[in-house]
Structure 1
Amino acid sequence: MEPLTTPDPVRFSKAVGLPFIGSNTSGKIWLFAEEGSTFDVDWYSEQIFHGRLKSHRIASPLAISAVYAKCTRSERYLLWDKMREIAGTLEGIPWIIGGDFNTILSHRDRTGSDTNWQAEMVNFAEAIEDCLLVDPGFDGAEFTWAKNGLFEATRVTNLPRIASDHGPVLARCKMSDIAIGGKGFRFQNMWIRHEGLLAIVKNAWEEPTGAGGLLNIQIKHSGVKRALKEWNKEVFGTF
């Protein structure tokens, strides 16, 4: 969470019923965890707080990254590079990352501004693509400063703002009992022999993105890959 009020983690710890674990270098990202859980901090800076959660509720460690990005595009380059670095060290560990990225992926993600976000959206889309991240979507309020939750979760809900100008996000995650290594996208030769392949690609590619230029292509590529992965799992029983 990113506190709006005077920092007092002890008070918030009592309010949420979770022990305070730590904060990033600027003190703008706080982390709380359930009693009996452990959180090994791997990295923290002004823009990200990252580590691995171990709990009796999950069979394997869960990598968690909390983000509070800088306001300028040039400063966010460091964040995108750090995300790529983290993604390369996970070795198949499930990863959930979210927070305030201070940018958007589509013009539909923002209202009330005429600013040209095209270049910044491309940077963000490229970082998401390089890290093999998937946006699970959300329910609740449509616009909130912290609505981006990137993980294979069963449900993401944007909760009302209370003590901060950032609305909290509740992510309900479904994890398998056995740790499975993360896999990149691979085109399967067997797909070519299936009559449904072209329809899957066509439908995914024709989905509107609300973007243009390079960002439009980037989002469409991601959509096609996601659709093919889901179709492969349903039709062939593999992922």
Structure 2
Amino acid sequence: MEAVEAGMGISDWHFLSNIQHHHLCRFLGLEDDSAFRVTFVYGLNTPAERAAIWSYLITEKTHNTSVPWGIMGDFNAIMSSMDRQGGDSNWYSHMEDYPNYVSQTELIHLLATGMHYTWHNGRPGDATILKKLDWAWGNQQLLTQWSLAKATFQTRLSSDHNPIILSLSPPPLRKPRFNFLNLWTEKEGYEEAVTSAWNGVAYRNPISKLTTKLRSLKEFLHQLHQSHTYHISARVS
């Protein structure tokens, strides 16, 4: 763990992990003494093993009535039948535990964007099973202090779960600064630029590869715009 922490290259932060409780270290967190509490959840596979999570949430609710509290992670449970696709379609009695305890703790489902199903069983075709097992919740104090808090569920990388980014104060929306002009397709060098961008090397997941290549092409189009079509209406006049 010392080597991992040193490799992060982050100073003046406190590292928190569950290495003392699990040899695989399922959690590694960092905090900088902000007045904000986060609980990270890893739900085990059986209803009996998950009971400890529900008991913890009920207990901690009373301790966090005046503290902004966020709860996020892999609960290994779904809220309703709409949160799964494929596999066993039955709704068993133990599946009521999660929605019931969320209701008792009065947790608020944070605004979420991105992928809905956050877990994939890794099998193709008819054997595919998708579920929303990862969630982000907050108490009333959290939403009072950060009314725009939201969770973004990103594309899976090496894990079978989608990463979650919790943003307390999302940046304001900006108007698009890039517009594609159809006449660029008729300019010399356009086809070559597209081919070059698409043949370029890009890494990570398919979406990241796509955006990397689009950024490469955007640089060429920006230069083309500056040379030929910048303030085109004024130039025509």
TM class, shorter-length: 0.5 to 0.7
Q: Calculate the TM-score normalised by the size of structure 1.
A: 0.53
Structure 2 counterpart of 1:74: 48
1:30 matches 2:27: yes
1:103 matches 2:77: yes
1:134 matches 2:104: no
CA RMSD between the two structures: 2.7
Structure 2 counterpart of 1:184: none
Distance 2:109 2:29 in 1: 23
Percent identity of paired positions between Structure 1 and Structure 2: 26
Distance 1:103 1:126 in 2: 12
Contact 1:103–1:120, Cα closer than 8 Å, also in 2:
no
Secondary structure of the structure 2 residue equivalent to 1:116? coil
How far off its partner does 1:31 sit? Answer: 2.8
**Letter matched to residue 33 of structure 1:** L
Contact 2:5–2:15, Cα closer than 8 Å, also in 1:
no
Q: After the TM superposition, which residues 44-193 of structure 1 pair with which residues of structure 2 at under 5 Å, given as runs?
A: 54-55=33-34, 61-145=35-119, 147-151=134-138, 152=143, 154-174=149-169
Contact 2:72–2:137, Cα closer than 8 Å, also in 1:
yes
Q: What per-residue deviation string (whole Å, max 9, x for no partner) do you get for residues 94-149 of structure 1? A: 11001111110011111112242342332111110111101123111221135311
**Letter matched to residue 143 of structure 1:** Y
**Letter matched to residue 148 of structure 1:** W
Unaligned 5+ residue runs, structure 2? 120-132, 171-237
Secondary structure of the structure 1 residue equivalent to 2:76? coil
- Sort the Cα spacing of 1:76 and 1:117 in 2 relative to 1 into closer, same or farther, 3 A: farther
- Sort the Cα spacing of 1:15 and 1:80 in 2 relative to 1 into closer, same or farther, 3 A: same
Residues matched between the structures, number: 145
Q: What per-residue deviation string (whole Å, max 9, x for no partner) do you get for residues 212-237 of structure 1? A: xxxxxxxxxxxxxxxxxxxxxxxxxx
Q: Which has the higher helix share?
A: 2
- Sort the Cα spacing of 1:109 and 1:62 in 2 relative to 1 into closer, same or farther, 3 A: same
Unaligned 5+ residue runs, structure 1? 1-7, 38-53, 56-60, 176-239
Q: Calculate the TM-score normalised by the size of structure 2.
A: 0.53
How far off its partner does 1:90 sit? Answer: 1.5
